[in-house]
Structure 1
Amino acid sequence: MTDSICSLRRCANTASRALSVAVVLLGLFVGWSSHAEALWVRAGKLVDVERGRVLNDQAIHIDGERIVAVQDFKGRSETPDRWIDWSNYTVLPGLMDMHTHLVGNITTSEIATPLYTSGAEDVLLGVENARRTLRAGFTTVRDVGAYRAFTDIALRNAIDGGIVEGPRMFVAGAYITVTGGGGEVTGLAPDVVVPAEMRRGVANSEAEIRDRVRQLIGGGATFIKIIATGAVLAAGTTPGAAEYSEAEIRAAVDEAAQYGIFVTAHAHGAEGIKRAVRAGVRSIEHASYLDDEGIALMKKHGTWLVADIYNGDYIEEIGRRDQWSEEILRKNQETTQRQRDGFAKAVKAGVRFAFGTDSGVYPHGDNARQFAYMVRYGLMQMEAIRAATLYSAQLLGKDREIGSIAAGKLADLVAVAGDPLADIDELRQVRGVIKAGRQIRLD
C-alpha cells in the first residue's frame, strides 16, 4: 500500500510541478519573493484574540517568518534597523477563510463553464484569485475543492515555492462524490463526456471511497472533502437529499485518519449532516437544513460548523441579473434564510464555528463581507474576528502556528484603518498585510 501511495504521489506531484511552471514567469513579472526580513511593527491597537482584548501602542518583533516578542512600544529596549509604522491602524492576526475555491473562474449562469478552460488556465486564473485573497487580508485559506483534480495542489505548491503571491493553502485535491452528485459537473446533455480528471473523486461504494481517499492523499491533499448531500449550484441535485450513507462517510474518515488527515463534509440536508457528524467528520460545510437534533449532535461530537451565510444574497442579486437557471435560484431561496437561522441557533447552543465564505461563487477578495452577516446572526464582533483567526486555526489543528499574534507563531498580520470592534465592516478596508514575516501590502 505504501508503494502505491508513493507512486500516486510522484505522478500527481509531477503533474503539479508541470502546472506550476506555467506561472513562473508571471511570478517573476510581479516581483514576488519568499524572502522575509527581521523587522518591528508598531501597532496603534492590537487585537489579542486569545484573551479577547485590545492592547494600545504595541511593538511586534519579527525575525524571519516568526514573531519573537510582543511588548509595549514605550517599554522596548531594542533599536531596530527596520520599522513598519502601523501606529494609526488596528492590527489583527492574518485572517482565514475555511471555505474557498481559488482555482478557475467564479460561478456564472453557464453550467458548462468548467469545461471551457484547461487545467493550466484554471491554475493561472487561480494566481489572480489568490493574489486578491491575500491582499484582502486573508493569509490562510482552506480550499475545499476544484473540478479538475490536483489543480488546487499545483497552485498551493506555486505559492509555497515563492513563485506567486497568495495565502497559505490547505487543499482537498478533488471532491469525493457519487455519480451525478453534488460534486460533479452536472446539467449537460447525456452524450457529453466529462473529462476523467473532473471525475477523479467519483465513488459509489465504501471500497471506492477508500481508494479515492488514498489517491487524493497520495497526490498531496491535506484534507478530504466528501459531498454528503446534493448542492444548490449543481443542476439536478437536491440539497436536502443525502447522497452517502453513514457507513460510506465513515469509510472516508477512517481511511484519512490513517494518514493523520481530517475529512470535511459538504452537507445541506438535515439527515446528511447527522450522518456525517456521526461518522466523525471534522466540519460541516453549509448546513442549510441544520435542525435541533443535528445541533445537539454537533455539540456532542465537537464538530465544527462552517456556514457561508453571505452567499445567498449574492446569488439572488447576481443570479437574477444574469438570468441563472430557475432551479438554482429556487434552491437558493429555499436554503438561504434557513441556513442563517440554523447558524444563529447553533452558535447560541455552543456549537464550534469557523469562518468560511464559499469564495469562487462570488468574486475573490471580498471575503470580509461575511463578517457583518455573522454579527447580524448572533456573534459579537470579537467572536466574529476569532472565527476567522483563532477558531479557524483550531479547526485546521494549527493553532500553535497561526491564529493569533504571539511569540513563536508565524508572523501573519493585517492592518485596518478603523476599529472593527465598533464596525466590523472595517475589515473590508485593509491597509497592510504581512504573511510569514514578509510585507505584502502597505497602502
Structure 2
Amino acid sequence: MSDTWSVDEHLEDVLRGVRPLEPIELQLLDAQGCVLVDDVAVPAPLPPFDNSSMDGYAVRTVDVEGSSPEYPAVLTVLGDVAAGSDAQPAVGPGQAARIMTGAPLPPGAEAVVPVEWTDGGTGGGPADAMTAHSADPAAAGGEVRVHRAVVPGQHVRARGSDVEAGTVALRAGTVLGPPQIGLLAAIGRGSVTVRPRPRVVVLSTGSELVPPGERLGPGRIHDSNSFVLTAAARAAGALAYRVGAVTDDADTLRSTIEDQLIRADILVTSGGVSVGAYDVVKETLSSLEEGAGRVEFRRLRMQPGKPQGFGLVGPDRTPLLALPGNPVSAYVSFELFVRPAIRTLMGVQPVRRTPVPARLEGTEPLRSPAGKRQFLRGAYEPPAPGGKTGAVRAVGGAGSHLIAALAQADALIVVPEETEELAPGAEVEVLPLD
C-alpha cells in the first residue's frame, strides 16, 4: 500500500474493526429503530375472526335481495353485537342483528348493510339514517327497513384477510418503524429480539470553539461539527451523545475519551488530525499507553477529507473514527465512513449508500484534482416516472468550509480519481443523502 490510502481501502479497514452488536430482547416501544434478528411469524390469522367494517346490520344476503327505497326489505332486529362481544345471536331468515364496526359477524349472517342504507331501525324513511341510528337505536324485537342489497362478504373484514397464520410478518434485518411496531402489537408480540441501536459519542476539538448561543470573542468560532455529526448519527439510526468541544490539551482529551468509553459503541472526534502544531487528536491518540489500543492516522486520496484516523481504543476495543475539523470535510467523512460503521453495528444492509446515475446540469464544467476522488455537494432531482437517470447540479464551491452550501445539498456528486473535468450534460455518479 502507498503512503496514501484510497477511500475504499480506508472504509474496508474501518469495517474490519466493527462487528454487529449482540442481540437483546426489548419491549416493543423500546425496539423502535432497532433491527430484527429473526423472522417473525404470524401465530394466528389477522383479523382473527370475520368482523364488520361498518356500523350497520348483519344480514343474510337473500333477505335483502332486490331491496330499494321504494320496496325495502323489512327485517326483525334480534339485538346488538358490539365490538368485543363473546356471544352473538344467530341470524335466521328474515332477521338482522345491529352490529358495530369491529364486532364479530354473528352466525348465519353473510354481509353487513351500512346503517346509511337503512332507516336506522326507526320504521321511517332513509333521510338521515346515521342520526336516527344514534338517537333511536333499534331494540330487540324491533324492525329495520333495508333500502339496498348487499352481496356475500360485503362490508366484512374476513378472517385472515390481513395475514394468515404461519406467514412471515417481518423478515430478519427489518428496521422497526411505527408501522412495524403496530404489526407486532397486532399479532400479539409484546417484545422482540433485535440488535440495539448503537451508542455514538461525538466530540469536537479546538480551543477556538464556542457553543452556539454564546458570544464570540476574538479568533473564536461557533462549534458546528459536534451538532451536525450528532444529528447525522441520529439520522443513521444511532443513539447519539454530543459531548461538545474539548480544548487543545492532550490530558483533557485523553481523560474525556476515557470517561466516554463506558457509554460508547463508537467514538467520533472532529478536528486535530492533520499536521499542525496544535493537532492534539493526532498527537494524543498516536501515543496511547500500552494496552489502551491504537489509532492510526493516514492521508486519503479524496477531497474533502484527506486526513483521517481510525483505531480501536479502551479495554473493549471501541472503534474510534477521527475526522477532519472543517465542517464539510467532517460531514462527508461521516457519510463515507461513520455511517457504514453504524449500520454494520446495527446489522442492517446495505451499509453504504447506493450510488445512482445522474445528468450533470449547469453551464460550467466541474474540475477536480488528478488522483483524488472528489465529493461535491449537489442538488439532486430523481428521474421522472419511467425514466432511468435523474439530474444533479453542483451547490456552492469545493471549499471544505462552505457549510452554507452544504445545507442546500441533498446529494454528493462523486468525481473519480482519474477524472479532472466533467462537462455539463455528462453522466455522473451521485450519492443521495437523507
**Same fold at TM > 0.5:** no
- Say which one has the larger Rg: 2
Normalising by the smaller structure, the TM-score range is under 0.3
Question: What TM-score, normalized to structure 2?
Answer: 0.27
**TM-score normalized by structure 1?**
0.26
Q: Which has the higher contact order (CA 8 A, sep 6+)?
A: 1
The structure whose residues are more often strand, as a share, is 2
The structure with the greater share of residues assigned to helix is 1
